[in-house]
Structure formats: structure tokens, C-alpha cells
Amino acid sequence: MKRRDFIGAIAGATAATALTACGTEEAPTQSAGNEPQKTYDWKMVTTWPKNFPGLGTGANNIAKLITEMSGGRINVKVYGAGELVGAFEVFDAVSSGNAQLGHAGAYYWKGKIPSAAFFSSVPFGLTAQEMNAWLYYGGGLALWEEAYKPFGLIPNPGGNTGTQMGGWFNKEINSLEDLKGLKMRMPGLGGEVLKRAGGIPVTLPGGELFPAMQSGALDATEWVGPYNDLAFGFYKTAKYYYTPGWHEPGTSMECMINEAAFNELPADLQSIVRNAIKVANADMLAEYTARNQQALQTLITEHNVLLRHFPDSVLKELKVISAQVVEEEAKIDALSTKVWASQKAFKEQVMQWTEVSELAYLKARAL
């Protein structure tokens, strides 16, 4: 009896010790030394209106993932455009450390970094799938990091809208002549192509587009696609809705991190931040793919929007101009030359696979 009691006591003590150890390991706010773990309060500034569908909610998703995946050790608060800084002040806010995260489009910073536009979208360039492939597996992200390094920033793909729409117009576009003198919102390399074609490109943040169209300050505008364009109510200002978005075939959004703030994090939180952004990057493309068709049907059936395709002749001329513009932009500085050489080589390679896989299948499905 005494022997059985002794063995039972040992077993009970061992179980209690194991339970105590498990409780210590699971406690999210305690370190291995049983000391409270440090928490971090981060701000994310964006170029989008607060909670704007797709783009604004995509930024919210990153913040939510970081906060949840870190067990609350990093708390991220999101600010829409104009709440903390203006839409086009996001880059400087994160670079200076006034915010730790920024969600935007890299082509907005072309004036600061000539190569920046290549990391968002190139006219007649990579699709969303191809863009992610270049960034993650073709050396694109390393070049992006090189471009942002002097500004104390770490860039990350922070979502993709997929192929965008060609824009909203108050008249039909039957030839390149119809673009001449047209004041149209179009940033990045697409804006340079429009300018060469005789148009007048204007760069405005999303929140200012509707009143600019309504007042006549703009003759036409592109934004993203049906999901976002319906939310802004562009159907109230123009009836002709053109496809395809030749200027933005697969636009990558960005989530930039202040490098100093990132370096303060322990290794596990650094991994959480980078992987949370990667999850959100994939999620945004899925959302746009699901929502765009629903919104397009609403625009056509409920708001009598007239869907139009750019004539092949117009697209061919824009493609020629685009090739000229991109090659010229790539010569502005050494980094632009290197970035475009990388992306161009990747495009020439990946196009062969896209044509025998995606394109071949889409043609077969349309039979």
C-alpha cells in the first residue's frame, strides 16, 4: 500500500508540473523568463479613403492580421487619407517614422524614385499572377527593397487589383484622335503614355475624383474596376465605361514598413508582420475577382452604363507608344535600367507559359 501511495504521489506531482509548464508556454504576454513581453503600438497611414472597399479594407485586413497573429503584441491602428496625413504624404510619413506602416501604390512616388512605377504596373506589362511571380520568385522584391532602402523603408506587395478597367469617358473613343486634349486622371507610366498620345494626364487621389468629374475639371478618369468604381458613383458623371485597362494589367499595391521600427521587433514578430502582409496580398486579388463581376452587372443593369471595348486600332497605337515610353523611363537612372531589365526579361519568359496555359484555356472556354 505504501509503495502504491508513493508511486501515485509521484505521478500526481509530475502531472501538476506538466500542467503548470503548459500554462506558462501558452501565456501570450509572458516571456520565457516569466516577464511581461513588450507590446508595440503602430500606426498605418493610407492613400485611400477610410474603409474604402478593397483598397481601404485591404489595409484594414493587414492591420487585423498583424494584431491577431501577434496575440496583441503589435497593435495597428489604420488612418485613412487625410485623417493623419494627406493621401500623397504617406511615403514621407512612414519614411520619417511618424507612422510605422503605409498602404499605397508605388507609382505615386515616381517623383521621388523614378523606378517606383515599375513596382506597381507597367502598360501592357505583367498580369497580377505574373507580377507576384516576378516579385517573389524573379528578383523583383529585392530590387524594390534596394529602391526604398535610402528612405529607411521596407516595401512589400500589399494586394493586387487584377486587370483594371480602361476608364470612364463622356464620349466614345473610336480613334487615338479622341484622346487628344482629354484631361484624364491617370498616374504612373500610363499617364506618360496618355500624354504622348495627346491627352492631359492628371494625378489625383481617389477621394477627389468624383467632384472633379462632376465639375468638369476632368473629362475622363480611370480608378480601379467595377467594385471600386461603383462605390465612388462614377456612373453619375459618365456613361461610357471602357475595357481593357491597358495601362494597369495587374496593379500591385504596397505595404511599406519603417525600417527602424521593424528592426526593433524580435524575430518572431518580424516574421509575423511580413507574413501577415503576404496573406493580405493574396486575399485582395481574390476579393476583386469575386466582387468585380457583381458590380459590373449592377452598373450595366441598374445604372445603364454603356460598356465599350477600346478598338484594336487604338490599343495597337497605345502599345507602340507604351513601349517607347517605358524604354525612355528605364533610362532615367541606373536603378530604373536595372529594374526594367529584370522585369522585361521575366515578362518575355513568363509570357510563353501564360500563352500555353491561361490564354489557351480561356480561348478554349470561350468556344
3-state helix, strand, coil in the chain (%, to 5): 55, 15, 30
CATH superfamily, with its number, for domain 167-249+304-365 = Periplasmic binding protein-like II (3.40.190.10)
Give pLDDT, residue 37: 87
Give the start-end residues of each E strand in the chain. Answer: 40-46, 74-79, 101-104, 153-154, 157-160, 167-169, 183-185, 200-202, 220-221, 240-243, 252-258, 306-309
Give pLDDT, residue 30: 52
Which residue ranges make up each domain of the chain?
40-160+251-288, 167-249+304-365
- CA distances from residue 46 to 78, 98, 148, 300, 367 in whole angstroms, order as listed: 8, 13, 17, 31, 43
> If you average pLDDT over residues 11-32, what whole number do you get?
41
Cβ contacts of 25 within 8 Å, gap of 6 or more: none
Q: How confident is the model at residue 8 (pLDDT cuts 50, 70, 90)?
A: very low
* Whether pLDDT at 12 is above 60: no
Please report where in the chains the cell 509575423 appears, as a residue: 272
For the whole model, what pTM was predicted? Answer: 0.89
Fold identical between 40-160+251-288 and 167-249+304-365?
Answer: yes
Give pLDDT, residue 14: 42
Cβ contacts of 270 within 8 Å, gap of 6 or more: 262
Interstrand relation of 252-258 and 101-104 (parallel, antiparallel or unpaired) = antiparallel
Using one digit for the tens of pLDDT, what is the confidence trace for 340-364? 999 999 999 999 999 999 999 999 9
Cβ contacts of 210 within 8 Å, gap of 6 or more: 232, 233, 234, 236, 237
Cα distance between residue 139 and residue 144, in whole Å: 9
Give pLDDT, residue 9: 43
Give pLDDT, residue 41: 98
Using one digit for the tens of pLDDT, what is the confidence trace for 142-176? 999 999 999 999 999 999 999 999 999 999 999 99
3 state DSSP class of 105:
coil
Cα distance between residue 296 and residue 29, in whole Å: 47
* Whether pLDDT at 5 is above 70: no
Whether 179 contacts 199, CB under 8 Å: yes
Give the start-end residues of each E strand in 249-356. Answer: 252-258, 306-309
Using one digit for the tens of pLDDT, what is the confidence trace for 168-225? 999 999 999 999 999 999 999 999 999 999 999 999 999 999 999 999 999 999 999 9
Using one digit for the tens of pLDDT, what is the confidence trace for 272-306? 999 999 999 999 999 999 999 999 999 999 999 99
> If you average pLDDT over residues 238-262, what whole number do you get?
98
Cα distance between residue 144 and residue 156, in whole Å: 8
Give pLDDT, residue 18: 38
Q: How far is CA 60 from the centre of its chain?
A: 13
* Whether pLDDT at 10 is above 70: no
Q: Which CATH number is associated with domain 40-160+251-288?
A: 3.40.190.170
Give pLDDT, residue 355: 97
* 4 vs 212, higher pLDDT: 212
Give the rounded percent of residues in the chain with a pLDDT score beyond 70: 90
